[in-house]
Structure 1
Amino acid sequence: MLPLTDKSLRASFINASRKEVSDLALPADFDTLDWDRLDFLGWRDPKLARRAYAVVPTLEGDLIGILFRHPGSMPRTRAQCSWCNDASLPNDVVLYNAKRSGKAGKNGNTLGSLICEDFQCSANARRPPKTWYEGFDVEEARQVQIADMQLRAAAFAAQV
């Protein structure tokens, strides 16, 4: 992922009001992020526990910023993340809801997805897969995992 600035990050949000965008808290490690190891930027708001954000590059190279809400009463559980598509995760998965952009969002329409709680999908997709048979190309399979995760995240962002 290409490095983002505060301004470009805030300008990318499509389902948040100007007030919500101006109030968002950047990730604590924003200035030291390893952008080469990220396929999208996702973080939970440290001030508002039920709010999270993701900035996802589209296939065309544009950025889509998404404001998520987490229903706080939902239990954290082991499940398959919809983005990294991994059932053997080292982290919890939660249901994140995003208000749709435009008129649909103003009418209260939302879109939900099970996503790694702290958006660890980029790291999870980079874990080496199991060696299924002799001669299995682990590096090629890992690159496929990464590309598939990028497609699933971009597809979700496009639906918002």
Structure 2
Amino acid sequence: MTGIEVRHSIVNGSATERLNMVLPSNFVELDWENLDYLGWRDSHSPHLGYIIRWQGETPVGIIVREADGPLSRQRMMMCQLCRATHTEHGVSLFSAKRTGEAGLNGNTVGTYICANLGCSSNIRVEVPSASYYADPQSVLAQKVSGLEQRVAGFLADVMRAQ
């Protein structure tokens, strides 16, 4: 993907928002084979992030915004995309403006996501070799499938007309 393709993939942002988007610093070095979706925080506007996934050969992306209020830091939190659990600042509440008229009216969708938007890396941790685990490759395949389904569902919620 090129920077222009990334910008054109955004479905819930204005032309100005797409133009001002800052690509990840490692964009040219990304390991596309191990990315179930591309997610990153904007280095110039840390409250903004971007999620892009592929629908067939077409990239579809959204702008997400981190909630202002602090989450409870006294307990574990779970990312609703990769299902990884974190303590402290590992999970944040992100919202995305809906597309179309609903978004223009201020309608948003939100969910808890890994604060660094790096779920593709989080699901690729080594699977313990204990006897109660299945083949590590099948465990990873199940994690990838679940992540892809949940990311697709979140993007579909953003694009759903309300």
TM-score (norm 1): 0.88
Aligned residue type for 1:31: V
Post-superposition Cα deviations, 1:83-112, rounded to whole Å, max 9, x if no partner, equal: 101226897010000000011111111000
Shift of 1:50: 1.1
The CA distance in 2 between the partners of 1:117 and 1:135, in whole Å, is 28
- Which of the residues 58, 64, 68 maps onto 1:68? 64
Which residue number corresponds to residue 42 of structure 1?
A: 39
Comparing 67-76 with 10-19, which one deviates more in the overlay? Answer: 67-76
* 2:12 counterpart of 1:12: no
Identical-residue share of aligned pairs (%): 32
Work out the CA distance in 2 between the residues paired with 1:152 and 1:47.
28
Residue aligning to 1:111: 109
Gaps of 5+ in 2: none
TM-aligned CA distance change 1:153 to 1:76, over 3 Å: farther
Higher strand fraction (1 or 2): 2
**What is the alpha-carbon distance in structure 1 between the residues aligned to residue 156 and residue 133 of structure 2?**
37
* Structure 1 residues 20-31: aligned runs within 5 Å: 20-31=17-28
TM-score, L = length of structure 2? 0.87
State the distance in 2 between where 1:145 and 1:137 align.
Answer: 13
Task: Give the AA of the match of 2:50.
Answer: Y
Count of matched residue pairs = 156
Name stretches of at least 5 consecutive residues in structure 1 with no aligned partner: none
Structure 1 runs of 4+ off > 4 angstroms?
A: 88-91
Out of 128, 131, 147, the residue aligned to residue 149 of structure 1 is 147
**Contact 2:24–2:40 under 8 Å retained in 1:** yes
CA RMSD after TM alignment: 2.1
